[in-house]
Structures are given as C-alpha cells and as structure tokens.
Amino acid sequence: MLLVDVADYSQKERNWDDKERKLWNFAVHNVLQEYLTSLKIPYTALQVRNGEWCVLIERMPAAAFDRAECEEWSRQLREAVERYIKIQIRVALHPAPVSLEKLARVYKNLQRSLSLNAGTDDAVIVPERTKQQSEHSQRLWDRIEEMVTGLKRCDRRKTEGALRELNESFRHLPDDSYERVQPILHYLCLHLLREMRSMDVIQGGGRDGVLEAARPQPGHSRDADRH
C-alpha cells in the first residue's frame, strides 16, 4: 500500500477557489493513473479525500512483494507528478504485504506517518514502528479517530466524549512525554481542519489560529493545565 499526499495541501488549499481545487486534484490523479498504468501491474488508486490518494498494488502471491521495487515506484511517482504539473507530493509506503482485514489500520498508520514527518526531505516515508511506540501512542490515536468520526457523522455526543477522553489521556502523560505529544497535537489540528474543509464546515483561512492552539505559549507549562 502507498499513500500519496500533496505536500502542504492545507496551506495550498487556502489559496484555491473551488474550481482550482478540483482542477489540481484532477491533474494529480491523472498523473498517478498514467504512471501506474505504465507499470503494467494490477492496481487501484482511490482518492480518499482532497489531496490524498491510497494506492493498492496487487502482488500474487504475497511473497512476490519487493520492498525495494515499491520504494523505487514511489520515487518515480513523485518525480512524475513534479515533472508534469510542478507540484510536490509525499509518499508513505507500508513495508510489507497487507491483507484485506488490515487495510483500514494500515491506511491510518500511513496517514499519521505523513503528518508526523511533515517537513522532512525523505523521498519515501517508510514507517518502522516498534511495539513499544505503538502501545504508548495507540490510545491517543484511537481518541483522535473517534473524535473525527463523530464530527463527520454530526454526532455531538461522540465528538465531545472523545475530546474529553483525549484531554484526560494528555493530562496523565509523564512530563517527559510532552515533546513527543507536540507533533500529535499538530497532526490533530491539521487533520480536523482538513476534514472540516472537506465537509464544507469551514472555508479558507483560520489555519494559523488553529495551529497556534497546538503550540505551547511563552511562560505556559503543562502543570498549569492540570489545575
């Protein structure tokens, strides 16, 4: 599985009207289709939301999966998009075959990896998550996804309940975990903003204010939040 995302999409989207947004998404999708078709392999490219595509490549049997080959396809895909339409994309690659029942979980992991590695110069992001890292962060990610799901379903009770649980999870983290939590908060703000825009809940603008809420203020400590 590959996850393709337009670099800095939230920022770019602020400067596009509805027609421009559709044209840019259409252009990227076309280049993805043309390049993947040229590989002569069975694939599906699904646009999951604006600026994001999930690419599934069928390899039969699963043992035919070649990580190095997939990384090379990902690099060439980035180059093709930049060459033809002068826009940068970022690609995350799951480093192993994916069964049907794990598709949703792997997709979310790749989405998080792209967000948490924003600003890196890596041609292809290949998440290598340890069991320990997964256990420490999974509860936070689950609360975030519950909050987004509630928002998309207009379920106020679910959204507010997930927000309360997320807040409690942050409050009970050890002090030395705060540095690791900052990228997660940044991801949460961008993720919510992007989903709300896709639902037409909000229009352009407001990004800077949302992101500012995720940044610690001068003289502000986590201890103050606990009281």
pLDDT exceeds 70 at position 120: no
Is 29:47 a contact under the CB 8 Å cutoff? yes
52-56, 101-105, 108-112, 168-172, range with the lowest pLDDT:
168-172
Range of 60-64, 70-74, 125-129, 154-158 with top mean pLDDT: 70-74
- What's the pLDDT at 217? 41
For the entire predicted model, the pTM comes to 0.70
- Percentage of the chain beyond pLDDT 70 is 74
Residue whose pair of structure tokens reads 């949302």 in the numeric block: 210
Alpha carbon distance 82, 28 (integer Å): 9
Q: What is the mean pLDDT of the chain?
A: 78
- What's the pLDDT at 175? 63
- What's the pLDDT at 174? 66
- What's the pLDDT at 225? 44
Average pLDDT over residues 7-23: 88
pLDDT exceeds 90 at position 187: no
Distances (CA, A) of 66 to 48, 114, 225: 25, 22, 48
48-57, 64-73, 135-144, range with the lowest pLDDT:
135-144
The number of CA neighbours under 13 Å toward the Cβ of 166 is 19
- What's the pLDDT at 222? 40
Domains of the chain from N-terminus onward: 2-116 (3.30.70.1230), 131-225 (no CATH)
pLDDT, tens digit (0-9, with 9 covering 90-100), for 54-78: 999 988 776 678 889 999 999 999 9
Alpha carbon distance 113, 108 (integer Å): 9
Distances (CA, A) of 15 to 10, 19, 40, 123, 214: 9, 11, 36, 26, 23
Residue whose pair of structure tokens reads 């400590």 in the numeric block: 221
Three state DSSP letters for 19-86 = HHHHHHHHHHHHHHHHHHHHCCCCEEEEEEECCEEEEEECCCCHHHCCHHHHHHHHHHHHHHHHHHHC
- What's the pLDDT at 149? 80
Range of 124-138, 153-167, 200-214 with top mean pLDDT: 153-167
Kindly indicate the confidence band of residue 202, based on its pLDDT and cuts at 50, 70 and 90: low
Report the 10 Å Cβ neighbour count for 149. 14
Range of 24-28, 127-131, 180-184, 196-200 with top mean pLDDT: 24-28
Alpha carbon distance 14, 9 (integer Å): 9
Average pLDDT over residues 188-198: 73
pLDDT exceeds 70 at position 180: no
